[in-house]
Amino acid sequence: MQIYVCVKHVPDSAANIHIVDNLKIDESVPFLLNPYDEHAVTEAAALKNQVPGSEIIAVCLGKKDAESTVRSALAMGADRGVLVETEKTCDSMATARALHAAIVRDGPADLILTGKESIDNEGMQTQFRIGALFDFPVVTNAVSLAIKNGKATVTCELAGGRTRTFDLTLPCVIGAGRGLNTPIYPTFPDVVKSRKKPIETITLSELNVPAAPGSTKIVAMTPLVQKRHPQKITGSPLAQAAEIIRILRQEAKVLS
C-alpha cells in the first residue's frame, strides 16, 4: 500500500512569536512538524506494520528549511520524503494543488493522510481540497481507522464529543485528530537512521501547477489581546457556587 502523509512546517506554538510589518511573523522562531501531522505519521507507521510491503511517503510544501520537518516525519517512520520548495506563502487552494501535483508525479496513492488542521492557519481546508482534486472521499478529525478489503472504516469526532463512523473506498483522504493515537516520538537511533532516508526536493515551478480560480491573501496581522476582568466572589460556599453558576449561565453563556 502506497501511503502519502502531507506534513506542514509550522512555528512552535510555545515560542514568543512577533509580527513583522503587520503581514508576517518573525521566522527566527523554532519551526517543527505540525502536531496534528504527528498523529497522521504515527497512524501511517501502524498501518505499514499491518500491511507488509507498504511504503510511507512524507510530502511537504514549504521553504528550504522545511526539510527538517520532513526529516522529523522520516524519523517517526516514513520511508522517504518529497519537499516541494517555494518561497511563496501559499493559501489552502495553492497548497492543495501543489501537494496533489507532487503526489500524482510520485504516485499512485492508495491512502492520503493529513492532520485535521495546522496550528498556524487553522484553515481545516487542505485535506478537502486534495480530495476534490483527486475525486477521493474525505473524512477529518478521525479518532479510529481500520483498513480491510479495500475499505477504510473511520470514526470521526464531531462537535460536543459525538462521533460518526464512515466506510470509505480506497483510495481516500483522512484527516487525523488528536484522539486517533498517541504519537510515538523518535529515539536517537531513529533520528540517525532518518538521515540516510532519501528526500527528493523539487521546486513548485517544476510541477507546473495550474493557478487556482480563486485565492486568499493576508492583508493584516495583529496580536490577540485578551481582556480579562477579575471578579472576587465572596460569601458562603453555597452562595459562591450559586454566583458561579449565574455567571456561567448569564454572562459566559456556557450553561443552559
CA distance 126 to 116: 9
Q: Using one digit for the tens of pLDDT, what is the confidence trace for 97-152?
A: 999 999 999 989 999 999 999 998 888 999 999 999 999 999 999 999 999 998 99
b/e string for 208-240 if b means 16 or more Cβ within 10 A?
ebeebeeeeeeeeeeeeeeeeeeeeeeeeeeee
Instruction: Map out the domains of the chain as residue ranges.
Output: 2-207, 226-256
Q: Is 45 exposed, middle or buried (0-12, 13-18, 19+ CB in 10 A)?
A: buried
DSSP 79: S
Confidence at residue 222, expressed as pLDDT on a 0 to 100 scale = 85
What proportion of the chain, given as a percentage, has pLDDT over 70?
100
Confidence at residue 60, expressed as pLDDT on a 0 to 100 scale = 97
Q: Is 169 exposed, middle or buried (0-12, 13-18, 19+ CB in 10 A)?
A: exposed
| pLDDT of 226 strictly over 80 | no
Give me the CATH topology for the region 2-207. Answer: Rossmann fold (3.40.50)
Length of the chain in terms of residues written: 256
Cell, residue 69 = 520537518
Q: What pTM, to 2 d.p., does this model score?
A: 0.85
Q: Using one digit for the tens of pLDDT, what is the confidence trace for 24-58?
A: 888 888 999 999 999 999 999 999 999 999 999 99
Question: Which of 122, 124, 123, 160 is CA-nearest to residue 140?
Answer: 124
| pLDDT of 17 strictly over 90 | no
Q: Are 96 and 105 in contact (CB under 8 A)?
A: no
